[in-house]
Structure 1
């Protein structure tokens, strides 16, 4: 899905069905697993709900965000109290959140730069590992062609 975001194949409304079908085809080619575009769509929907929950946790009082470790940090007392009431949140507190950057780009409203981005004239990724997400910037994503077509590498 990172490649589809990078190729500007996501609109403000999300990915088109043809993108999910393309992702299903890539999964089949790479891993030999039969999945449908609908299953890919449902997985992204689930990941988006995880992303939203992480963002809600980051906004809670008494927590901080470690940008380097991609970790929501909560004090020991607050953590114990919070986990008692919300035990499933243990997967997101005081540990590095796996694939956070990818979640931010695919499920959030960021756009890829760095290792996930390509220059406008190149098909090869750039060499840095930075990402820029600005809340005050308009979305830079565009829709796929009117006929729903999309290139699949």
Structure 2
């Protein structure tokens, strides 16, 4: 119903409510598959300027949907990445906190009982990251870390030019103007 002034006179009960979508729930196995998938995307170079391409989120959502027989969208992946980045921020903060240690073998922030109690009183939500193994640490650091080396410019042994010393030529170094013969201490 409309009044003469073009304003709706329908009561709120009469207005059709928008259908509310259920929140997508990430299980631990889903999160692990996502992190492995996105870490591989980083290795492929699909995260220029520390931001994933939309195609990576679409492909990740498709992968999650297929593996877990659910409906996952790129928006779900992007939202979960916010959680992963927040987790990485907490881990990075803890690793840089004075008096805290890092066990690289176990991938765990270590802290003495006294420091633990004091810190957890101030930041109770951080307790799960202290003195506990951080699952998928490597993948989280690759996916969410901003200054991680991704290997884009790495070289293998096949990429390195080697000059045979047996040829009697001695080692050479290549610069912009061409090869220059190095001076040898044994000449």
| TM value normalised by structure 2 | 0.58
Once the two structures are superposed, the pairs formed by residues 104-115 of structure 1 within 5 Å of their partners are 104-108=141-145, 109-111=147-149
The structure, 1 or 2, with the larger RCO (C-alpha pairs under 8 Å, 6+ apart) is: 1
Query: Residue 127 of structure 2 is aligned with which of 90, 98, 105?
Result: 90
Q: Does 1:14 align with 2:51?
A: yes
Aligned residues: 114
Superposition RMSD on alpha carbons, in Å?
A: 1.6
What is aligned with 2:111?
A: 74
Q: 4+ runs of 1 displaced by more than 2 Å?
A: 109-113
Larger of the two Rg values belongs to structure: 2
What is aligned with 1:65?
A: 102
What is aligned with 1:139?
A: none
The SS at the match of 1:20 is helix
Contact residue 120 and residue 127 of structure 2 kept, 8 A: yes
Q: Does 1:36 align with 2:73?
A: yes
Q: Does 1:23 align with 2:60?
A: yes
Once the two structures are superposed, the pairs formed by residues 37-56 of structure 1 within 5 Å of their partners are 37-56=74-93
Shift of residue 86, structure 1, vs aligned partner: 1.2
Shift of residue 111, structure 1, vs aligned partner: 4.5
The SS at the match of 1:12 is helix
The SS at the match of 2:141 is helix
Shift of residue 9, structure 1, vs aligned partner: 0.7
Q: 1:102 to 1:13 in 2, by over 3 A?
A: closer
What is aligned with 2:17?
A: none
The SS at the match of 2:139 is helix
Query: What stretches of structure 2 of length at least 5 have no aligned partner?
Result: 1-37, 157-187
Contact residue 6 and residue 111 of structure 1 kept, 8 A: no
| TM value normalised by structure 1 | 0.70
1:36-78 deviations in whole A, cap 9, x for unaligned?
Answer: 1011011112101110111011111110111111111111111
Query: What stretches of structure 1 of length at least 5 have no aligned partner?
Result: 114-118, 120-153
